[in-house]
Structures are given as C-alpha cells and as structure tokens.
Amino acid sequence: MKRIQVVPTWSFRDGSGNQLNPQLFSLLRAIHEEGKLTAATKKAGISYRHGWNLLNTWAAFFGVPLVELQKGRGAQLTALGEKLIWAEQRVVARLKPQLESLASDLNMEIHRALEGVSPLLRINASHGYAVALLPDFAEGIQLDLQYKSAEDALASLGRGTCDIAGFHLPTSVVSPKLIESYSRYLKPRVHKVIRFITRRQGLMVKSDNPHGITGLEDLTKAGVRFINRQKESGTRVLLDEMLKQRQINSRQIEGFENEEFTHSAVAAYVASGMADAGMGVEAAARQFGLGFIPLEEEYYLLVCHHRSLEQAAVEQLLQNIRSPAFQQAVMQLPGYSPECCGEIVALDDLLSKTNTI
C-alpha cells in the first residue's frame, strides 16, 4: 500500500526576492565525498555542464564561491560550501523523528478511508535506526508509529493511548535512576516484554581521531569539545551513569551543556567539525563517516499489556519482526543485532538484572 513521506526542503531568497531551487545540495555532498567535479556530477546524476552552471549560479547568488576548482587538485568545498551541507544534515537529523511521526498520522488517515483496512497498532518509542524500519515491514497492520522519549512512551502505555511502548536498557551498566524511572510504569503482573534488538553505544569521533580519544576519560582533555544528548534521553542517562561510575566530573567536559536530540544530529554535529566527540550508536557514526569507540551495549525492548499479545495486530507485528527479511535489514545496520528478536520475556527481574534476559 502506498505510504507517503514528509521531508524538509530548503528555500533561499535574497533581499530582492530572487529564489533558487536547492538542487545544489546533492552536488555539494558529492563534491565533498569525491573531491572531483566530474565524479561528483556523475554521482549527483547531472551533466558536468549543468553542475558547472549550478556552482556559478549559486556563487553569484551568495556573492562568494562554494567550491574551489584547482588544476591537478580537483574540487574542494569552501567554508560556506561546507557550512551549507552540514547545516542541511543537522536540520534533517533534528527534524526526522517529528516528520516521521507526522507522516505516520497522515498515513493513518489515508488508510482509514480505505475499505478492508488492517488492524491498527499504536507504537510509541524513542527514535532509532531499527525502529525506523518498522513501517517498511508493517505487512498486515496499520502502524501508527509515534516517536517519544522512553519515559513518555511508557507513560502513554499506562494511559492506554498506545498498544506498545519502546524503551532501552544497558546490558551491563545498571543505572538506578533509569530503573527507578521505568519502575513507575512497568508492572510484572500486567506487562510482557518483547525483545527487539541489541545495539552498540559509544563515542563518535572524527575518522582520524586527532585528539587520540579512547574513552570517557579523554573527554576532559584540553581542547576536546563535546556534544551531548538531551537530559530525558536514554543515551544521556547512560552517559551520566558511566561518568559517575568512573568518577569523571562532567563540569570538566567542554560543551557538556550543549545538546542535540537524535543520534544522527550528534553525528552530524561532530562531522561538521563543531565538536570533537559525541555519544551515540555506531550506525550514526558510520552514516557520517566517523570513527566509533564502543562503550556499552543496549537492549532495545518493546513492552505491552499481557492481554495485547492475543490481539491480531500484535501477533502480526511479532510475525513481521521475526521474519528473515526484517532481521536481515537490522543486520545491515552497523552495531545492531536482531538476536532473539520477537521473543516474549517476563518482566520479573528485568529491571534489576538486565543481563539476564
């Protein structure tokens, strides 16, 4: 069934009202990756002449060049060219969860208008690379996927405004704060846990790692700039707990108060050169060509009321995530594993002994 997507686009206007179509972004990204205009235009799917005209048109629009072309040295982005592509990457990374949630709302309205619609399944979960695959494997169900923090998702489950909530737990670093937070919403006699995926969390750094960062202790080095996640995120809670266990004072970490709201946004921030390190999943680091220093593995889990396991929509979801096709897609994500995906687990002892599930 047709599924719409919502994507951000750029609109540039000067003081005279002149406007340009931002087709240039794909060309700039290709130049950044290839280092030659001939290869970049081919990768962007445009002719060399059109690429050359684009560069000249946009240089005239901004009043400064976006690319430097030097004989024998290929093409290199200017400071403004670099700023444009990283600004776009950061904006997309920041807005993606909200836009995907909006698209889910719109798709639900479309599906409701059709005859013979499939059972409805409402999932609230924090944004992640594996969760984002679910709409592509929603065979037999109407999937209403809304991105929220883990605590907000669990609260929604308690209120009955969603059928399944997503949350995550470290495999070895036990955070009393996280356990206390989740325990307010999860009841062993009421809820059942569905194992989903395991993912690696760690530090994202520039590919050449110029500061020689090997662990959290190196974040306190002079000149190392850090980009953090927001306080309500599971990644932030995990980081805070690891710093506490290692007796590292966060006040000694430059940029610790600066926050982004997704793994991809943190990766884009580091890739743009605005920070030297950030905390996130390996898949985000690889997406932006960054180095990755693994620190901890996390279980990403789904939870529902035990009676929901008998509902047709939940049964279909389990069938979908247990399928070889879905698990193969998860395995394509760096640092992700679908081991035991779809297994039903009792909630007893889960929050006190996360390494037993």
User: Which pLDDT does position 108 carry in this prediction?
Assistant: 72
Whether this prediction's pTM lies above 0.75 is answered by yes
Q: Residues of the chain with pLDDT > 70: what percent?
A: 94
User: Which pLDDT does position 277 carry in this prediction?
Assistant: 98
User: Which pLDDT does position 109 carry in this prediction?
Assistant: 74
Q: Which two tokens stand for residue 229?
A: 């996640």
User: Which pLDDT does position 194 carry in this prediction?
Assistant: 97
Q: Are 163 and 310 in contact (CB under 8 A)?
A: no
Q: Indicate the pLDDT class of residue 83, thresholds 50, 70 and 90.
A: confident
Answer whether residue 105 shows pLDDT above 90: no
Q: 20-86: what fold?
A: Arc Repressor Mutant, subunit A (1.10.10)
Round to whole Å and give the CA distance between 39 and 348. Answer: 57
User: Which pLDDT does position 349 carry in this prediction?
Assistant: 62
Q: Indicate the pLDDT class of residue 2, thresholds 50, 70 and 90.
A: low
For the chain, domain boundaries: 20-86
Contacts of 15 (CB under 8 A, 6+ apart): none
- CA distances (Å), 307 to each of 120, 138, 304, 310, 333, in order? 16, 21, 8, 6, 32
Contacts of 303 (CB under 8 A, 6+ apart): 154, 157, 164, 165, 166, 167, 186, 191, 192, 193, 194, 347
Answer whether residue 78 shows pLDDT above 70: yes
Answer whether residue 116 shows pLDDT above 70: no
Q: Are 304 and 163 in contact (CB under 8 A)?
A: yes
The pLDDT tens digits for 134-182 are 999 999 998 999 999 999 999 999 999 999 999 999 999 878 888 888 9
- Cα dihedral 309, 312, 313, 315 in deg (nearest 10): 50
Q: Indicate the pLDDT class of residue 200, thresholds 50, 70 and 90.
A: very high
Answer whether residue 132 shows pLDDT above 80: yes
User: Which pLDDT does position 266 carry in this prediction?
Assistant: 96
Instruction: List own/partner pairs for 139-145 with CB under 8 A and 24 or more apart.
Output: 139/316, 139/320, 140/316, 140/319, 140/320, 141/313, 141/316, 141/317, 141/320, 142/108, 142/111, 142/112, 142/117, 142/118, 142/313, 143/104, 144/104, 144/105, 144/108, 144/120, 145/100, 145/101, 145/104
Q: Indicate the pLDDT class of residue 113, thresholds 50, 70 and 90.
A: low
User: Which pLDDT does position 352 carry in this prediction?
Assistant: 54
User: Which pLDDT does position 356 carry in this prediction?
Assistant: 40
- CA distances (Å), 326 to each of 125, 132, 134, 169, 295, in order? 18, 12, 8, 22, 26
Q: Classify residue 17 as exposed, middle or buried by CB count within 10 Å of its CB (0-12, 13-18, 19+).
A: exposed
* pLDDT, greater one: 335 or 97: 335
Q: Indicate the pLDDT class of residue 242, thresholds 50, 70 and 90.
A: very high
Average pLDDT, the chain: 90
User: Which pLDDT does position 355 carry in this prediction?
Assistant: 44
**Angle, in degrees to the nearest 10, between helices 24-34 and 79-112:** 120
The pLDDT tens digits for 12-24 are 777 777 776 678 8
